[in-house]
Structure 1
Amino acid sequence: MSDPFSHPDGVTQDTLRRCWEACWARARRPVEGILLPNDQATHIAERALRNASLSFKTFPGEGPFLATALEETARAAREGVALQRRDHRDPQLHHDPGDSRYERNLNLDRLQRRDAERGFHDREWNDLPPVLRPLALHTLSRKGIRGPDADEVFNDSLLELARERNDGGAPILDLTVFEELIPLHTRITGFRAIDWMRKKSAQKNRPNAGESFDALTDDPDHRKQFEDPNSDPDQATFERIYSECREDLTDLEWDLIYSLYVAQSAPVQDLLADDAFCRRHGIRTTASPSTKRRELLAKAEEALGKIRKSFQV
């Protein structure tokens, strides 16, 4: 792969290799439950890296570049799968045969059909509760909500999928492939469980309560997007964090976060032994190893603090 950037420090082959491997892996599995053939993943990853390189005039650092490339990869892969399923009229196409969480995919296009007067009324919705209910009841059981109470919360969470927002959209309309519905509904179920516990306890300041679903979705300035490409619906990916906090950190801070916590291509002591790395991040090259480490950790903690603050808004 030729270097698409005119960055004075250049782009190493190791950097390109790591970006390529990460994008190819994401293209193969853009969402849990989807598995693409190797050749298709290769095509998507190559195009995503090319598009990402066109987004920057100069190389912004491995972290910001990879976050952009991964976001482009996941989007292109999901859209490609949706298009192929539509063309072949097969909602199960490219579904991971090893995924045993539920029996089969439903037709997302039918689930997303909305009539101006009747709303979401396609018969495909009749097959949705058997898919989502066992997963939701498992989530609720871990929170101590069982029996009729769990059924009540599940029914509320199911209605939330079709609830119209102020912008005219609805959670079900935000999806590109059916597999995205599983983590989306898990998140909604979790927030509805919070609302249920608040109502039952009548304690508005429970330390484990957090934000309610309504508060998170109705605020037009800070509405959460409940998309998650990982199996753990509470785990944020680097590209999601970068996308939501992009303006809060400098390119150097993103590069530092990526080097320490994402790429992990070298131990900390090796990074601190690299004078170019130290100079780039304002760490004194003549300082002792312990001083370098303190300066590095201080800069990393400052950057992490900005990310935490952004997610608390």
Structure 2
Amino acid sequence: MPELPEVETVRAGLAEHVLGRTVTRVEVRREYSVRRHLAGPADLAGRLTGRRLTAAVRRGKFCWLLLDFGDGTGGRMGDGAAGDPPDEALLAHLGMSGQLLVRTGADEAAAGAEHPHLRVRLHLDDEGALDFVDQRTFGHLGVPDLVPTPDGGPGGLGAPDPLLPEPVAHIARDVLDPALDRDAFVARLRARRTGLKRALLDQTLVSGIGNIYADEALWRARLHYARATDTLRRADVLHALDAAHEVMGEALAQGGTSFDALYVNVNGRSGYFDRSLAVYGQEGRPCPRCGTPVRRDEFMNRSSFTCPRCQPRPRSGRW
């Protein structure tokens, strides 16, 4: 499943390749891929057609493109004043296998170039297109209203205004967001009565950390996933937060983690941070730090990978 660095790679690609473009036509090839847009595919197409893509924003694993009418008018029917911020966005969640792929005019003209799992296509005014491709169909697109951010800060990375899509309003800021309040995060985590990894995976506490990067961050911080949050020192929590920031920054520099062809950036290229993983998926292999074989445990219907020596399990490991 794409995690924060993968989605940020996609956001950065959208910011580079599609901003300033206007949507000229929308094809919804599979209605299930727009199921969260309750007004239906025709309404989604109507809300997108004629709109200019003005900013690419991300919060956690959600990514969205702000929409206006090309004249600075943000109202959904063109009834806003010039210079008003947009009040709608094209919101994407990639799910397990979703991809947003930018096609140039040359790609459009190429025979047989269409992806077999194309679900939605936005035709753009430069004769190119933005395709939503999704093999497993867990991802979705929609055009929700924007609402004020709870803390008054920018909606997310790349946001020009303190607004975010209504379905994302409950999602916390992520470790790469400069507006993240570290002290507030520490206080909220230490007030929980749960395990450390469960807390890091809670998107209402801090967003964007998934199974892979949680394991990698905790290995770097030398903390076991079952450590009770209410027993952690402030320094321990900050160490885990810094480790998550570090590992995600390194993954972002390499284009994310890709185990197969289901995650690619907007140009169709896979990331390769999987070559740098220390413990995730490394059961039985030597820990890069001490040589102890990596251990795998069942965790929340998934797996957790740790070094038994570097990350000793707490005696009261309830989680």
TM-score (norm 2): 0.29
Larger Rg: 1
More helix by share: 1
More strand by share: 2
